[in-house]
Copies of this chain bind each other. A is one copy, B any other.
Amino acid sequence: MSPRTAAVLRDGGGGPSLRDHLVAAAERLVAERGAAGLTVRDIAREARVAAGVLYNHFADKEELLALALHAHVRAAERALGPLPVAGTGGVEDNLRAIVRHGIALHRAILPAFAGLASRPKVLERFAALPNPLADGRGLRAGIAEYLRAEQRLGRVAAGARCEAVATMVVGACHELVLPPPGPLPGAAPPEVAPEVVDDLVAAVLDGVRRR
């Protein structure tokens, strides 16, 4: 890209800066292939820019990847919208929506983070950014909060263990979306059948105790 193009991208009052352009390119690749396998040259090629350019706008590769992951997560959250509000609708329907929300969030986000556990620097930088619902841990907090609110309204059992249930729900969503380690490690996480969601909700509602 020529300096001219850069200037075009930079000025214009709110037009996208080249920095944003680079983050967007990285975000695209992160969504497609995951952040773990990306190289600086991959990102530069996607942005149609020489590799060295990145270092005019970011300290290093990790900073750019963290920003791309952040943008990706934020986009997913925006697309999914908020969790149900306690006191509105039925508890069972709300739980179903929550489970679907969790599955969709994990399906959208998990591949981007696959393999990142062994590269802590990106995760550190990512964690340092403002992350409302970042990594699913925020989702757990949101679900627990919803349950406690319903509990205050008397719509779920007074003795319910809200935190534990939230942990189980998030964990189940995570688990259902994890790709099986077979010979075809497809990039797309598996779909989840509606009956599975219903069973999950039923299990959360009723437990296993014989009555």
Tell me the complex Cα distance, A180–B134, Å.
Answer: 11
Give the contacting residue for A203; candidates B123, B137, B140, B164; CB below 8 A: B164
A residues lining the B interface (CB < 8 Å): 34, 36-37, 91, 114-120, 123-124, 126-128, 135, 137, 140, 147, 154-165, 167-176, 180-183, 185, 196, 199-200, 202-211
Give the contacting residue for A211; candidates B116, B128, B147, B157; CB below 8 A: B157
Q: Is the CB of A175 within 8 A of B183?
A: no
Q: How many copies does the complex hold?
A: 2
Residues of B within 8 Å of A174, CB to CB, are 171, 174-175
CB-nearest residue of chain B relative to A162? Answer: B208
A196 to chain B, nearest CB (A): 7
Tell me the complex Cα distance, A123–B176, Å.
Answer: 18
Q: Is the CB of B206 within 8 A of A157?
A: yes
CB-nearest residue of chain B relative to A34? Answer: B118
Tell me the complex Cα distance, A158–B37, Å.
Answer: 47
Residues of B within 8 Å of A128, CB to CB, are 183
Give the contacting residue for A135; candidates B37, B181, B205; CB below 8 A: B181
Q: Is the CB of A210 within 8 A of B157?
A: yes
Tell me the complex Cα distance, A155–B119, Å.
Answer: 46
Tell me the complex Cα distance, A119–B204, Å.
Answer: 35
Q: Is the CB of B206 within 8 A of A159?
A: yes
A123 to chain B, nearest CB (A): 4
Q: Is the CB of B120 within 8 A of A209?
A: no
Q: Is the CB of B164 within 8 A of A172?
A: yes
Q: Is the CB of B171 within 8 A of A208?
A: no
Residues of B within 8 Å of A209, CB to CB, are 91, 156-157, 205-206
A147 to chain B, nearest CB (A): 7
